[in-house]
Structures are given as structure tokens and as C-alpha cells.
Structure 1
Amino acid sequence: MRYFWTFFWTFLLMQMMAYVVSSMTGVAYNFVTASILAVVATVLILILGEVVPDRTADGHH
């Protein structure tokens, strides 16, 4: 379920970011490009979440 929610929020935020940036730069908004970026960002976020150690569990006995 965490994979779904990670993709869901990443997809929404990347679409919003792509729309705002394209509007600010004066180029056309491209849904496909923003979707590809969302998938890439989701994969990177999930990999980063697995690689970074969980330090909260170290201090508890």
C-alpha cells in the first residue's frame, strides 16, 4: 500500500510542478513528460527509502 500512496502523491506533485514550471517558462504543458518524471521520481524515492538506515530503531531497547 505504501508503494501506491508514494506513487499517488509523487504523481500529483510532479504534475503540479510540471504545470507551474511550464507556465512560468512559457512552454506547453506535457502530461506524458510529467508522468515519466513521476515514475522516475517514485522509483528514486522508494530506493532511497530502502537504502537510508532507520536510526530511530537504534536508540530503543
Structure 2
Amino acid sequence: MKLIATLFWTFILVQVLGYVASSMTNTEYSIQTISIIGVIATVLIAVLAAIIPKPTVETH
């Protein structure tokens, strides 16, 4: 479920970023290209989440 939520929010945020960047640079907005970048960003986020060690909770 976490991966689906990450994919959803990454997709939305990357689309917004791509739209704003294409408007600022006066280039064509391509939903396909930006969607591929969103999927790649989601995979990178998932890999980073798996690599970063989880903190351990010390019991007293």
C-alpha cells in the first residue's frame, strides 16, 4: 500500500513540476515523458527506502 501511495503522489508532484518547468522554459509539455520520469522517481524512492536502515527502538 505504501508503494501505491508513493506512486500516486510522486506521479502528481512530477506532473506539476514538469508542467511548471515546461512553462518556464517555453517547451512542449509531454505527459508521456514526464510519466516515465515519475515512475523512475518512484523506483528510486522505493530503493532508497529499502537501503536506509530502520532505527532501532531501545527498551528500558
Runs (5+) with no aligned partner, structure 1: none
TM (norm. structure 1) is: 0.92
1:6 alignment partner in structure 2: 6
1:17 alignment partner in structure 2: 17
RMSD (Å) for aligned C-alpha atoms: 0.8
Rounded to whole Å, the distance in 2 between the matches of 1:40 and 1:7 is 10
Query: Per the alignment, in what secondary structure is the counterpart of residue 9 of structure 2?
Result: helix
Runs (5+) with no aligned partner, structure 2: none
Task: For 1:36, give the aligned amino acid.
Answer: I
TM (norm. structure 2) is: 0.93
1:60 alignment partner in structure 2: 58
Rounded to whole Å, the distance in 2 between the matches of 1:22 and 1:60 is 49
Percent identity between the aligned chains? 44
Tell me the matched-pair count: 59
2:30 alignment partner in structure 1: 30
Question: Post-superposition, which runs of at least 4 consecutive aligned residues in structure 1 deviate over 4 A?
Answer: none
Query: Per the alignment, in what secondary structure is the counterpart of residue 54 of structure 1?
Result: coil
